[in-house]
């Protein structure tokens, strides 16, 4: 192997710097500083030197953007900082309501005068896929998808192919860790070119740029990702490890505090969202050039209305405007709900509308037995997707529209998600059409259907109806319930049609040989599904209750109920009045839960699930009651410190859970600390824990420890 001389090292460094500068100017600044041929020659020269001296290859080298081998799978990773979704407003009036709410949130009552004149930062809401990027000492070490906001998939090799994402931050003295959030997207010209190439190759076309971007990011072969030329806009910056400023919590993740009078990093002085965007640009990221500071509600309205018409001229898709309070101090004061930041909102544009024709009206049977009429439509492009069916809700809705087969209708996307018929163009109605009537018998099991006077919904009440059972299985396996990976609608359809399962409890009796009888079910796939079903036994009692599909019991109500009724026996024995006494549970929910547990078939199901080993009790119950008096104190002898804001638990709640499991919670990090529980905007405790090598836990990891 050839010897690496100081001259060779210097040559490689110089080439790397020139290529990085040229790439930044071309992809981020849109201002090329050298001819393509010159760039190609320098890149090739660098590549040849690195091939000759592989010990000089670094992770941030421009040659490392595309992997040599395809990945075999993606790994789930916990986000260091949760990716919260945004609350939506669909017009200026709703935005004004949001404004009034945050102003009251500052004072807890009448808005204070100082909240009258605040600045907002308006940014275009890019229609793409959110990414979480982690840099250590200025080097990109991880790129991940948003996932559920807490956990995503690690796709670093694919992220490295995006030229507008720097492999190395453009800072001489970068912070130890930087977290960047932004949106990966496909430009419209690139998207159209990809579809033209796919059409020539006889491949299925992508429906819209958003789906194409999401699918591209999950390609196992990064060389395919590179060819599709994804782009990226950065919009959020987190720099963890700051001094605590209030109640032991870091005031804001994006502000540095120097130590001993020294300015450790050039990132310490920014106090606003606008300044953080400018810093992101300085670091080497593309930041949307159409951002604007708006000092009033009226200017936000003008910005919103301007881009409602001008967005058709943009080279990418946007579906609204993201409005954030500019002051980071105000952001700190407002904080987060369980789902959204209180200091930001997505001001969405009205859903697109389009005319199309009703070819047929079908009826779908859901897991609760509800019969839902669906308009089968001549396919039409709507809000970036192809729409071929739209919900008609119920017979009352059908009659109010007087919709008929053959009608020309206007459809739009409710919340830009669910296609919906909004009106019928009766002047275009062909002669001879007949009003639609709901079937008198279930279209799946052929049993009579009922419609109560108190409900708009027509229902099949046959509990043995295959459609109801299929819906129940799909719901049981869904992400918010038992989260059984691989058990989707098509597989459920096969299982029910072939009588492989006749009850939810039958899932836990499945074996690999039993599953092998299904179509396209190989040995490996069957083993994975059996494993995923077994893993679902570890899901907490609240998810099991939600998964049972009791009418009116959503995931939030299930959590509320299991906090009061810490095991299934308590809920079985509870009266309707006792259930209704729980804060947040109304009479309709209480009666539904009470009646469900009175049904013998449901009691049998509960007994079978208990025998299968599912969690039908809280492992760490509240109110000082122990549902398992023989439980192990799993955290006995361990010392914990909590820093930052946790996604769902208040600090006192987390402390109580740890102490109930035998652990100890202290206020400061020391060599005696075993674990640091880290939330959003973690303070100097995180930095000290890193210096001492103390194990860090997310809220999800803490809860997992408590359940083990």
Determine if residue 183 is labeled as part of a ligand binding site.
Answer: yes
**Chain centroid offset of residue 381 CA:** 25
Determine if residue 85 is labeled as part of a ligand binding site.
Answer: yes
Element (H, E) at 292: strand 292-294
Residue 577: CA atoms inside 13 Å, Cβ hemisphere, count? 0
Pairing between strand 664-666 and 449-450?
unpaired
Determine if residue 294 is labeled as part of a ligand binding site.
Answer: no
What's the alpha-carbon Rg for the chain, to the nearest Å?
A: 28
DSSP 525-593: HHHHHHHHHHHGGGS-HHHHHHHTT-TT--HHHHHHHHHHS-BHHHHHH--HHHHHTSTT--HHHHHHH
Contact 625, 632 (CB under 8 A): no
Catalytic residue among 18, 125, 168, 685: 125
Contact 409, 375 (CB under 8 A): yes
| 58 three-state secondary structure | coil
Angle at 306 between CA 302 and CA 311, to 5 degrees: 145
Beta-bridge partners for 120: 294, 325
Determine if residue 39 is labeled as part of a ligand binding site.
Answer: yes
Determine if residue 537 is labeled as part of a ligand binding site.
Answer: no
Determine if residue 464 is labeled as part of a ligand binding site.
Answer: no
Determine if residue 527 is labeled as part of a ligand binding site.
Answer: no
Determine if residue 670 is labeled as part of a ligand binding site.
Answer: no
Contact 124, 288 (CB under 8 A): yes
Task: Retrieve residue 680's tokens.
Answer: 């959003």
18 is catalytic: no
Quick one: which of 336, 340, 157, 317 has its CA closest to 249? 336
d(CA 8, CA 45): 12
Kindly report the number of other CB atoms within 10 A of residue 608's CB atom: 16
d(CA 84, CA 144): 14
Question: How far, in Å, are 26, 371, 459, 551, 705 from residue 441 at the CA level?
Answer: 64, 10, 10, 22, 50
Contact 192, 84 (CB under 8 A): no
Task: Retrieve residue 591's tokens.
Answer: 């009666």
Determine if residue 86 is labeled as part of a ligand binding site.
Answer: yes
Q: Which residues are catalytic?
A: 125
Q: What residue numbers does the annotated binding site for NAD(+) cover?
A: 36-40, 85-86, 123, 146, 183, 324, 348
Q: What residue numbers does the annotated binding site cover?
A: 36-40, 85-86, 123, 146, 183, 324, 348, 442, 445, 465
Q: What residue numbers does the annotated binding site for Zn(2+) cover?
A: 442, 445, 465
């Amino acid at each position: 192997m050839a010897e690496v001389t100081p001259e060779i090292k210097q040559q490689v460094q110089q080439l790397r710097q020139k290529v990085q500068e040229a790439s930044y100017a071309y992809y981020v600044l849109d201002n090329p500083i050298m001819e393509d041929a010159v760039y190609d020659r320098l890149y090739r020269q660098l590549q040849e030197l690195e091939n000759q001296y592989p010990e000089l290859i670094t992770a941030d080298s421009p040659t490392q953007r595309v992997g040599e081998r395809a990945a075999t799978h993606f790994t789930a990773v916990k986000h260091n900082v949760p990716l919260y979704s945004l609350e939506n407003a669909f017009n200026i009036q709703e935005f004004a309501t949001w404004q009034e709410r945050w102003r009251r949130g500052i004072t807890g009552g009448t808005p204070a005068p100082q909240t009258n004149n605040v600045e907002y930062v308006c940014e275009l809401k890019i229609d793409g896929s959110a990414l979480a990027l982690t840099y250590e000492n200025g080097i990109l070490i991880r790129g991940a998808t948003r996932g559920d906001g807490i956990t995503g998939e690690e796709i670093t090799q694919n992220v490295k192919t995006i030229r507008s994402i720097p492999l190395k931050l453009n800072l001489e003295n970068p912070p130890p860790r930087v977290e960047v959030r932004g949106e990966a997207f496909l430009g419209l010209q690139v998207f159209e070119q990809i579809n033209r190439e796919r059409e020539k190759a006889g491949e299925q076309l992508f429906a819209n740029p958003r789906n194409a971007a999401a699918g591209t990011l999950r390609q196992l072969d990064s060389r395919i990702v590179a060819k599709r030329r994804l782009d990226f806009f950065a919009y959020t910056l987190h720099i963890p490890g700051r001094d605590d400023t209030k109640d032991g919590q870091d005031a804001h993740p994006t502000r540095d505090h120097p130590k001993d009078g020294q300015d450790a990093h050039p990132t310490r002085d920014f106090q606003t969202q606008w300044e953080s965007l400018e810093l992101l640009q300085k670091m080497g990221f593309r930041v949307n050039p159409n951002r604007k500071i708006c000092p009033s509600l009226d200017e936000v309205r003008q910005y919103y209305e301007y881009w409602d018409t001008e967005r058709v001229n943009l080279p990418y898709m946007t579906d609204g405007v993201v409005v954030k309070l500019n002051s980071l101090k105000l952001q700190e004061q407002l904080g987060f709900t369980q789902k959204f930041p209180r200091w930001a909102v997505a001001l969405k544009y009205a859903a697109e509308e389009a005319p199309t024709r009703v070819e047929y009206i079908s009826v779908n049977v859901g897991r609760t037995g509800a019969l839902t009429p669906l308009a089968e439509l001549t396919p039409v492009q709507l809000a970036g997707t192809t729409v071929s069916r739209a919900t008609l809700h119920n017979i009352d809705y059908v009659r109010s529209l007087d919709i008929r087969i053959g009608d020309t209708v206007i459809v739009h996307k409710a919340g830009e998600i669910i296609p919906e018929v909004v009106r019928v163009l009766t002047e275009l109605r062909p002669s001879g059409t007949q009003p639609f009537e709901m079937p008198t018998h279930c279209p799946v099991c052929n049993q009579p259907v009922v419609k109560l006077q108190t409900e708009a919904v027509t229902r099949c009440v046959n509990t043995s109806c295959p459609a109801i059972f299929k819906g129940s299985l799909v719901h049981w396996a869904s992400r918010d319930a038992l989260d059984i990976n691989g058990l989707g609608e098509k597989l459920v359809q096969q299982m029910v049609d072939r009588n492989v399962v006749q009850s939810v409890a039958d899932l836990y009796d499945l074996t690999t040989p039993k599953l092998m009888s299904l179509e396209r079910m190989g040995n490996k796939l069957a083993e994975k599904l059996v494993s995923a079903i077994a893993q679902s036994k570890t899901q907490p009692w609240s998810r099991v209750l939600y998964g049972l599909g009791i009418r009116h019991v959503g995931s939030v109500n299930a959590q509320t109920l299991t906090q009061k009724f810490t095991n299934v026996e308590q809920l079985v024995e509870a009266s309707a009045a006792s259930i209704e006494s729980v804060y947040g549970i109304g009479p309709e929910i209480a009666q539904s839960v009470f009646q469900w547990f009175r049904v013998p078939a449901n009691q049998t199901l509960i007994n079978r699930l208990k025998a299968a080993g599912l969690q039908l009790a809280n492992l760490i119950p509240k109110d000082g009651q122990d549902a398992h008096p023989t439980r192990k104190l799993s955290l006995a002898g361990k010392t914990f410190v909590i820093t930052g804001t946790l996604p769902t638990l208040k600090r006192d709640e987390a402390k109580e859970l740890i102490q109930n499991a035998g652990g100890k919670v202290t206020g400061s990090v020391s060599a005696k600390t075993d674990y640091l529980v880290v939330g959003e905007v973690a303070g100097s405790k995180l930095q000290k824990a890193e210096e001492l090598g103390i194990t860090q836990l997310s809220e999800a990891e803490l809860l997992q420890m408590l359940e083990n």
